Amino acid sequence: MKKILFFDVADYEVEFLNKACEGKFEYQLIKEPLNGLFQLSKEQEDAQIISCFTTSRIPNDILEKFKNLELIALRSVGFNHIDIDYCKKNNIFVENTPNYGNMTVAEFAFALLLDVTRKVTYSANNLKNSVVDAKCTIGTEIFGKTIGIIGLGAIGSEMARLAHGIGLKILGYDLREKEDLKEKYNVQYTDFETLIKNSDFISLHSPLTKENYHLFNKETFKLMKPTAFIINTARGELIDTQALYNALSENRIAGAGLDVLESEDTLTDVEYLVDIGRMSPQALQKTVLNNRLMKSDNVIITPHIAYDTREAINRILNTAISNINAFVEGKIQNNVY
């Protein structure tokens, strides 16, 4: 019987995981993330399978403690919190849960767009403080304007559907063009620079790669309209935080809606909260900038929750358990490398 450790287990996951594992596996449900602060027992180090969310951080020095580890069953799409190179070298499979939140994330991206352009959160917070100033709450209509969607995979395609439905013109940038998006939603594929220059709103839906790290930087922001807004529900590292802060501070763009940030884990991760010395100088700089951005009137930041709906959570759990069951039967599915 395989031994499985589930980390980052939320209360709403307990019933599902108990039903899925009872009698099939030797398993343990652990609320805490797996990171440098978690003390593994000798019994836990014998686990063949571990399952975690992105709040766990698993570098090679933690992986080395698991002498019998065969599979990391992620309850997420992203896997940059895992030392993939170590896993490759040691024949540890890493399986994720793709396509659980295509519509979910797109809806949230659109919610951020509406929020930041119509100053919903800003106005609500002002009202809580008995402040009502009509001059400061003047928003921007989105109907008839142009949205640039960078990355038209599963999530970006859903964003195009929503944008088309509300009457936006759509520019798209992707390595592959989808004819159905052109036909259904009038997506006009174009080059990156043309999209940046002509979009009133830009929404990022690309995976993070070496090639698009800091895709939005000082030079990119110079190309944007001063009335443009940027939305990011993809990966924080697609945007250079310093360049974004400067662009907003100097009124070179109008605003930003962000569900992801560079060094976002330093804002809430207990490892950093109990010992700031664990931060690199670069992470510390990003953290200071992130805190400044959160105080900006033309920025809304949420804590990486675009995926977070009941429906998406059920899809995540079902796929993660399916991955585990298949692995035990000798089948590999959704391996990330």
Q: Please identify every residue annotated as catalytic.
A: 235, 264, 304
DSSP E strands, the chain:
3-6, 26-29, 49-52, 71-74, 93-95, 146-150, 169-173, 188-189, 201-204, 229-232, 255-258, 299-301
Q: Are 198 and 143 in contact (CB under 8 A)?
A: no
The whole-angstrom separation of Cα 154 and Cα 160 is: 10
The whole-angstrom separation of Cα 93 and Cα 133 is: 56
Q: How far lies 259's CA from each of 140, 166, 167, 187, 230, in Å?
A: 21, 22, 24, 25, 11
Alpha-carbon dihedral of residues 115, 237, 73, 174, nearest 10 degrees? 80
Long-range contacts of 272-280 (CB under 8 A, 24+ apart): 274/37, 278/36
| Torsion sign (Cα): 274, 77, 192, 299 | negative
The whole-angstrom separation of Cα 115 and Cα 173 is: 24
β pairing state of 71-74 and 49-52? parallel
Tokens, residue 247? 């662009």
- State which amino acid sits at residue 270: V
Q: How buried is 188 (Cβ within 10 angstroms: 0-12 exposed, 13-18 middle, 19+ buried)? A: middle
Q: Order across the sheet with 71-74: list the strands.
A: 26-29, 3-6, 49-52, 71-74, 93-95
The whole-angstrom separation of Cα 254 and Cα 67 is: 52
Q: Can you spell out the DSSP letters for 16-55? A: HHHHHHTTT-EEEE-SS--STT----TTGGG-SEEEE-TT
